[in-house]
Amino acid sequence: MLIRHATLPDGRRDIDVLVQDGHIAAIGQRLAAPEGTPEVDARGQLLAPSFVDAHFHMDSTLSYGLPRVNASGTLLEGIALWGELKPQLTQDALVERALQYCDWAVAKGLLAIRSHVDVCDDRLLAVEALLQVKQQVAPYLDVQLVAFPQDGLLRSPNALANLKRALDKGVEVVGGIPHFERTMADGAESIRILCELAAERGLRVDMHCDESDDPMSRHIETLTFHTQRLGLHGRVTGSHLTSMHSMDNYYVSKLIPLMAEAQVHVVANPLINITLQGRHDTYPRRRGMTRVPELMTAGLNVAFGQDCVMDPWYPLGSADMLEVAQMGLHVAQMTSPAQIAACFDAVTVNAAKVLGIEHHGLKPGADANLVLLQAGSIVEAVRLRANRLVVWRCGKRVAGSAPVVSQLELPGRPAHVDWTLAR
Ligand SMILES: [Zn+2]
C-alpha cells in the first residue's frame, strides 16, 4: 500500500508512506511503488503512529455501578468497591467486558495497551480472563499484562505467591502498590522484593507508586534506588507518582536527576489523577498530577495513560487517547505548540517506549500500525479529538469512519479541502 499526500506529526506535508509486508518500507516525497500497489490519498490529513495506552485496568473496565457507585469518589473507596465486586466476578463477564473495550480501542486507533491485572484473588480469575483476551485480540491489538497486587504485596496474605503464579502463566510485567502497604517500611520492602523478582526473571516493572497527596510518600525514591542497584535501567516504570505534585521543591530537585540516571519511565494518568487526588483538600485544591513538564525537561520518558474507563474509580472515559492528551496538557498547563506535541507523544511514541515496543512509530522498518486523523496538525488533532478516518494494523485496515462534516465549518479550516477519502 502507498499512502500519498499525508501530513506527518512533525509537520512535514505532502509525504508518501510506502507499506510492504505489514511494515513501513519508505517515507518521503513522491515515492515510487511497484506496479499494482494500492494507493490511498490522505489528502493532507494527519498520518500518525497508532495510539498506545501505557496504563490501564482491563479487568475492571465497564463495571461501573457494580455492585454500587463510588459515593466519595476517592481512590480508597474505589479499592474497597472493587473488593466487594471481586467475589461476584465470572470469567465470562470479565472476558466480555474486556473484549468490548478492545473494540472501542481499535475504533479509536489505540492498538497497544498495558493493562494491570489484579492478582489478589486466589482463583486468578481476572488473570485467566485477560490472558484469554490477550490471545484473542492479538491479530489487531497488543495487550501487555502487569501482575498487580491490588490489596498490597505484604498486606494481602497470598499476594506474592499469586503474583508469581500469574507470571508463570504468562503475565509479563511485575506490578506493585507500595503506598497501599501498612507502613512506609513495608512499602519499601515490597519494592525490594518485586524488583529482585523482576531482575531474577528478566522482566519489566511497573508499579502504582505514591498515588496520594502525601508529600512524604517517597516510594519513587526507593523504586529508583533498586532500579539503579539491580541494573534495571530503562525497564522500570513509576505509575501515577501523584505525591510528587505535593513534594517539597528542594527534595524534587534532588529526586528528578536520580530518576533520570536510573532511566525510570513515568506514567501520569491525567483524567484519573485530576479526579481522585485533592479529595481531602478544601481550597486551594491540588491538581494531583505529577510534574510532567519538569520530568520531560530532565530527559525522562513520560507517557500518559487512560487508567480507568467506567469502573469503580471513574464513571467516564472512551478509549480516546486524544482525550487523555488533551486533559494532560490542561492539567500540566502545557499549551505551547511544542508542549502540545509532547503531550501527543505521551500517548504514542513515549507510551510505546514504556511497553518496550521497538517496532512502533513513523520510521522505516516499524510495523505499519497507523491512524489517519481528520486534522491538519497535531494541535488540531488534540483540539478536535479528531475523527479517526482509517486505522491500519500492520498495513491492514481494521477500523475507520466517515469524515465528520460539521468539522468543515469550524473556523481555521480551509474551505477547499475535500474530505472524501479514496478507499
Ligand atoms: Zn492504575
Domains of the chain (ranges; CATH) run 2-49+360-409 (2.30.40.10), 51-355 (3.20.20.140)
pLDDT of residue 405: 74
Q: How many beta carbons lie within 10 A of that of residue 254, not counting itself?
A: 10
CA 95, 96, 99 angle in degrees (round to 5)?
A: 80
pLDDT of residue 408: 53
Q: Examine the residue annotation and report whether 261 is marked as an active-site residue of this protein.
A: no
- Helix, strand, or coil here: 135? helix
The verdict on pTM exceeding 0.75 is yes
CA 208–ligand 1 middle distance (angstroms): 6
CA 303–ligand 1 middle distance (angstroms): 13
- Helix, strand, or coil here: 117? strand
Whole-number Cα distances in Å, 226 to 51, 182, 204, 219, 386:
30, 20, 13, 11, 41
pLDDT of residue 413: 52
Q: Could you tell me the three cell numbers for 150?
A: 491490588
Q: Which residues of the chain have pLDDT under 70?
A: 406-423
Nearest alpha carbon to residue 372 among 342, 346, 402, 349: 402
Whole-number Cα distances in Å, 299 to 49, 228, 263, 346:
22, 17, 9, 13
pLDDT of residue 124: 97
Question: What is the DSSP pairing of strand 370-373 with strand 388-393?
Answer: antiparallel
Contacts of residue 9, Cβ cutoff 8 Å, sequence gap at least 6:
46, 48, 49, 341, 344, 348, 362, 378
Q: Count CA atoms within 13 Å of residue 185 on its CB side.
A: 0
Distance CA 255, CA 150 (A): 26
Query: From the CA atom positions of the chain, what is the Rg in Å?
Result: 21
In tens, the pLDDT along 310-357 reads: 999 999 999 999 999 999 999 999 999 999 999 999 999 999 999 999
- Of the residues 181, 211, 323, 380, only one is catalytic, namely 211
Q: Could you tell me the three cell numbers for 407?
A: 468539522
CA 370–ligand 1 middle distance (angstroms): 26
Partners of residue 380 on adjacent β-strands: none
pLDDT of residue 234: 98
pLDDT of residue 417: 42
CA 282–ligand 1 middle distance (angstroms): 25
